[in-house]
Amino acid sequence: MNKKNNYLYDDGFKLVGRVCVDSGQLMIIDPCYLRDWKHGDYNCDSNVEGTASNNYEEACFKTLSEEKCGDVLGGLGFVFSSGYGDGTYNVYVRYFKNLIGEVRIVLINDDIENEEEEETDFWGDRNKEEEEFDCTNEEEGV
């Protein structure tokens, strides 16, 4: 990682985990509201906002819109496109008086964007830090 992108280390943010993306989108929501989540598939033929038959389809409508983000479940959650799509993204936090004050998920890294002259394995190098991380959880069969 070059010096230009050292904000990940010099402004108090600490790597605390990773999030896996398989639908090209992420959502921020209080887990207690997931009990209201209506499961289903995304039907690309009905991509008209306001006509979603389930909440996953509602989320897809938002992330495929011009803004690439929006609220879901009547404002109880917020969904956004995950940069270049599927993969594993590092999660950083900055603490304030022993409480989490900020969360940062790096979706597009300046180092990757500035390496146009060099050929890189984008998907493999996007968020390499301490170790490789596998999105599958074999113990739980996910």
Tens digits of per-residue pLDDT, 42-101? 877 666 656 788 999 999 999 999 999 999 999 999 999 998 889 999 999 999 999 999
Which pLDDT score is estimated for 83? Answer: 86
The closest alpha carbon to 106, from 123, 122, 83, belongs to: 83
Query: Model confidence at 133, in pLDDT bands (50, 70, 90)?
Result: low
- Tell me the CB-side half-sphere exposure of residue 65, using CA atoms within 13 A: 17
Which pLDDT score is estimated for 80? Answer: 96
Residue 35 has pLDDT above 90, yes or no: yes
pTM over 0.85, yes/no: no
Residue 3 has pLDDT above 50, yes or no: no
Residue 135 has pLDDT above 80, yes or no: no
Cα separation, 94 vs 100, in Å, equals 6
Cα–chain-centroid distance for residue 65?
16
Residue 4 has pLDDT above 70, yes or no: no
99-105 and 77-81 strand pairing: unpaired
Please give the structure tokens belonging to residue 104. 């940062």
Residue 27 has pLDDT above 50, yes or no: yes
